[in-house]
Structures are given as C-alpha cells and as structure tokens.
C-alpha cells in the first residue's frame, strides 16, 4: 500500500557527530574500567593444568592414574537419581588468565557473528528482491565491514588460551594410547575435526572467503551509486553474488559454531546447535540495526524512512525472538526427555550449577522481549525498542557466555565485572567503527531500482 503522493529522495551524507563519538568513547571507557576491576579480582591457581601434567609425565609411567587425573575434565556417570544416570563434574583448575582469554574469545565470536549475519541479511534482501529495506541498506553495509576486527581478536584469544579453553586441545598433546589410563575414545574419534590445525585453519579460510564476497558486494553497491539512472546491471550482479554467498555461508556457518563453541563441551553435541547460534546472532543484529536506524532518524537523516520501516524491524525482532525460544526449548526438551547421560551433561551443569543464569537467559532473550514487543505500538516506538533491544542484546551476549563458561570452568563462575567490561569495550569499538563506516558513503542508495518502493513503504495496518 503506497502513501499516494510523491516523495523526493536525495542523497545524504552522514556526519559522525561529537555526541555519537562521545557515546562510543563512554562505552569503551566503562568497558576498560569494569574489565580492569574484573582482572584485579581474578583469583585461582597460578599453575596451569598443563604444567601439572608435564610434571606428572616426567615422573614416569608408574603414575598413570595421576596422569589421567589431569588429562582432561572428568565427566563420570553416577546414579544419583531414580530416573537414570547423572553426570558428576570434576573440572580441572585453570590459570587465572584463562578467564581473560575466554572472555575475549566470546566477544570476538559474538561480534564476528553479528558482522557476518549482517552480510547474510544484506544478501537475503537482494535474493528476495526486497524493496522495503533499500532505504536502510547502508546500515548492514556498515556493520558487515567490522568482520576483520573481532576475527583478529578471536584468533589471539584462541592462540593464547586454547589449551585451557578446550580440554580436547590439551588432550591431543598427551599422546595417550588405548592401554593408558585416561585414554578417551570419544576425543580420539573426533580428533580428525577437533585438532589445533583445524581450529585455526578452517575458520581462517572461511572468513577470508566470506570477507572477499563482502568486499565484492560492497564494490557493486558503490558502482551502482555511480552508474547512470536506470542501469540495473550492478543490481543483477549483486543478486548473483548474494546467492553465492548465501549458499556458501548457509552450509559452513554451523561448522564454525561447532568448532569454536560446541567443542567446549567436546563429549556433547546437538544437531541444531549451529542453527541456534545463527538465530541468536540474527535477532541481535536486527536489534542493533534498529538502534542505528532510530538514531540516524533522530539526527535528521533518512527523512523518507518512516515508522513503517521501524515497525517492520520491530516485527522481525519479535518474530525471531519467538523463533529463538522455539529452538532453545526444542533442544532442551529433547535432551530432557531422552535422559541420555552424554546429552544431559550440557544442560545438567547449566541448570543445576548456573540456574540463575539459565533462567535469566530465558527471561532476557524471550520473556521480556515477547511481552514488551507484543503490542503494535511498541514496535513503532523507538524508546520502547531502545529499552527492550538493550535487554535483548545483553541477553544474547549472556547466552553465548552460558554456552562457553560452564564447559570451560565447571561450576562456580558468574557473569561479573570482567564479562560486562569486555562486552562494553567491544560494543564501544563496534559502535565507533560502524558510525565511521557510515561516513564513507552516501546514506541513500540513489540508483537502486527499488528505492522508490522503499520510500513509499506502508505495512498496511
């Protein structure tokens, strides 16, 4: 349904205002302060479990049982309940700095995924011939340029802390034989995929491929801006490259989630884990995109972008919040119903030892957004979207934290100053980067064939 009148659309140049710069800097400073407080309060043993293993190994083969005790985290089956076996966790002591590397790994992974799903969003708009989103296409274009920054941080965190984050990475250096105490046939069976070479090479190759396709789509967008009015050749090429990216990304993103996150609990696996990871970052990216659109509108840009566009973004936030909850509950219920010890271990430690975080995660990622965005008026109100969206973003970051920390440290950890500080620091850098990227191009895709459709967008209700 159109507006019924002509809307003049002109090119606009975004200016990174001092207020926006100040906001980004405040996030970074707060992040550094909280992270510093967290680092100052770090405790734990000074000696790594790797060092203890090396000492044990030098004591000779007569101490095989001691060797096995520090080989990797022990997850023993014990019948503590009438309805079936449970898992008893004996996680190893980790050096204090493991928490730093784990937090950097989480932040790098989270913001890398945000950047990648922004690219996927961009590609889907072309594949679907979507017209409504053309007016805001510069936002995902700017977000997807952030890909290299979190990936470099992720690689540094993995290089420094992989042996303490992943017990399979430590186990592969032990060289245990089937006759040795502590030999783990499950880890051996997965060693073709779970090994240090794959940990660095596979993600690097994939990210380079995705980044090259992103640069190609960006160059086609720039060429379209400089083309003559009515030239759709660059649009058609964008559709083709978007389709190529979507196929490659769709078949490979789950492997990254398996390798980087699911392998923290190396004895456990879920067939929907990769898709679940995609959806948790997908809804977060849409929320972040809504934030940027609302701010840019508030600053007087994109006059043809109306509440109709914000309403659609709000509907996407609401819809994928429900879809996230569907995946979350499906994975949980199937494992709860089957009562298979190898599967139960993942949820057992999170529900029994991290019950507050477990329930808080569901509240922040589903209950609050569902109730807050249920009304039509809420989806069109930028203040409501800002409040609910902030809870959603922090909730989904906490979701990734809950995927990692129990598997790395066992029980007893909390989302504290270091975790909040790392998130705020990266959020500040991310915000500064995206605002800077928005200044590099005009805000309006003036030669896009569907720009007029976007300017006259009306949800019809």
Q: What is the mean pLDDT of each run of 10 residues along the chain (461 residues)?
A: 61 90 96 94 52 38 42 47 49 80 96 97 94 92 96 96 88 82 85 90 95 95 87 91 95 93 89 92 96 92 87 93 94 82 83 91 95 89 91 96 92 90 97 95 88 81 61
3-state secondary structure 331-385: HHHHHHHHCCHHHHHHHHHHHHCCHHHHHHHHHHHHHHHHHHCCCHHHHCCHHHH
The per-residue DSSP string of 106-119 comes to HHHHHHHHHHHHHH
The conformation of residue 194, written as its DSSP 8-state character, comes to S
Nearest to 263 by CA among 172, 331, 337, 352: 172
Two tokens at 78? Answer: 């014990």
Indicate the helix (H) or strand (E) that contains 84. strand 84-90
Strand partners, 45: 95
Two tokens at 151? Answer: 């990936």
Query: What CA–CA distance (Å, rounded) separates 447 from 198?
Result: 43
Domain extent listing, the chain = 18-455
Taking the model in full, what pTM does it have? 0.88
Say what the pLDDT of residue 446 is: 87
Say what the pLDDT of residue 89 is: 55
Say what the pLDDT of residue 86 is: 55
Q: Which residues of 200-234 are buried (b: 16+ CB within 10 A; e: fewer)?
A: eebbeebbeebbebbebbbebbeebbeeeeeeeeb
What is the average pLDDT value for the chain, to the nearest integer? Answer: 85
Two tokens at 432? Answer: 């500064």
**277 close to 211: Cβ distance less than 8 angstroms:** no
Phi, psi of 254, rounded to the nearest 5 degrees: -65, -35
Instruction: Give the angle 155-156-158 at the CA atoms, nearest 5°.
Output: 65
Query: What CA–CA distance (Å, rounded) separates 15 from 436?
Result: 9
Query: What CA–CA distance (Å, rounded) separates 395 from 363?
Result: 8
């Amino acid at each position: 349904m159109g507006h019924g009148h002509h809307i003049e659309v002109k090119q606009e140049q975004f200016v990174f205002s001092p207020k926006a710069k100040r906001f980004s800097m405040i996030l970074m400073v707060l992040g550094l302060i909280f992270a510093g407080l967290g680092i100052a309060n770090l405790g734990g043993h000074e000696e790594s479990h790797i060092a203890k293993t090396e000492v044990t190994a030098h004591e000779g083969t007569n101490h095989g049982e001691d060797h096995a005790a520090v080989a990797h985290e022990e997850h023993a089956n014990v019948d503590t309940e009438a309805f079936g076996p449970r898992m008893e966790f004996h996680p190893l002591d980790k050096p204090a700095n493991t928490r730093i590397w784990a937090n950097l790994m989480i932040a790098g992974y989270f913001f890398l995924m945000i950047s990648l799903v922004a690219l996927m969003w961009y590609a889907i708009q072309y594949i679907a011939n979507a017209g409504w989103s053309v007016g805001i296409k510069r936002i995902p274009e700017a977000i997807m340029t952030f890909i290299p920054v979190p990936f470099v941080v992720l690689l540094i965190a993995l290089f420094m802390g992989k042996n303490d984050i992943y017990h399979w990475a430590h186990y592969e250096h032990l060289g245990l034989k089937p006759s040795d105490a502590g030999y783990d046939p499950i880890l051996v069976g997965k060693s073709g995929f779970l090994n240090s070479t794959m940990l660095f090479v596979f993600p690097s190759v994939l990210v380079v491929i995705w980044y090259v396709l992103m640069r190609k789509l960006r160059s086609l967008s720039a060429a379209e801006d400089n083309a003559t009015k009515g030239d759709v050749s660059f649009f058609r090429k964008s559709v083709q490259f978007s389709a190529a990216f979507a196929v490659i990304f769709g078949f490979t993103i789950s492997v990254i989630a398996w390798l980087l996150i699911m392998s923290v609990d190396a004895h456990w696996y879920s067939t929907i884990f990769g898709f679940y990871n995609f959806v948790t970052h997908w809804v977060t990216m849409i929320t972040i995109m809504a934030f940027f659109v609302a701010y840019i509108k508030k600053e007087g840009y994109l006059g043809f972008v109306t509440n109709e566009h914000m309403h659609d973004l709000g509907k996407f936030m609401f819809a994928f919040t429900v879809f996230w909850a569907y995946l979350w509950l499906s994975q949980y219920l199937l494992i709860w119903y089957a009562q298979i010890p190898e599967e139960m271990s993942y949820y057992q430690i999170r529900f029994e030892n991290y019950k507050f975080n477990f329930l808080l995660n569901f509240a922040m990622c589903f209950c609050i957004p569902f109730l807050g965005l249920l009304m039509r008026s809420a989806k069109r109100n930028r203040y409501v979207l800002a409040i609910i969206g902030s809870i959603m973003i922090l909730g989904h970051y906490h979701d990734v934290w809950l995927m990692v920390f129990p598997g790395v440290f066992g029980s007893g950890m909390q989302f504290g100053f270091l975790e909040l500080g790392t998130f705020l620091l990266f959020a500040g850098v991310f915000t500064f980067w995206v605002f800077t990227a928005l200044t590099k191009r005009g805000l309006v895709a003036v030669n896009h064939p569907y720009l007029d459709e976007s300017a006259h967008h009306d949800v019809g209700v």
